[in-house]
Amino acid sequence: MNAIANGFRGFAAYMGSLMGADAYAKYLEHFAATGHAGPAMTEREFWRDRMDRQDSNPQGRCC
pLDDT in tens, 4-51: 888 878 887 777 777 777 899 999 999 999 988 899 999 999 999 999
Predicted pLDDT at 13:
77
Q: For 35, which DSSP code? A: T
Q: For 38, which DSSP code? A: S
Dihedral of the CA atoms 37, 39, 43, 49 (nearest 10)? -50
Predicted pLDDT at 3:
87
Write down the pTM of the prediction: 0.67
- Separation between Cα atoms, residue 39 and residue 10, nearest integer Å: 32
| pLDDT exceeds 70 at position 61 | no
Which of the pair, 55 or 12, is modelled with greater confidence?
55
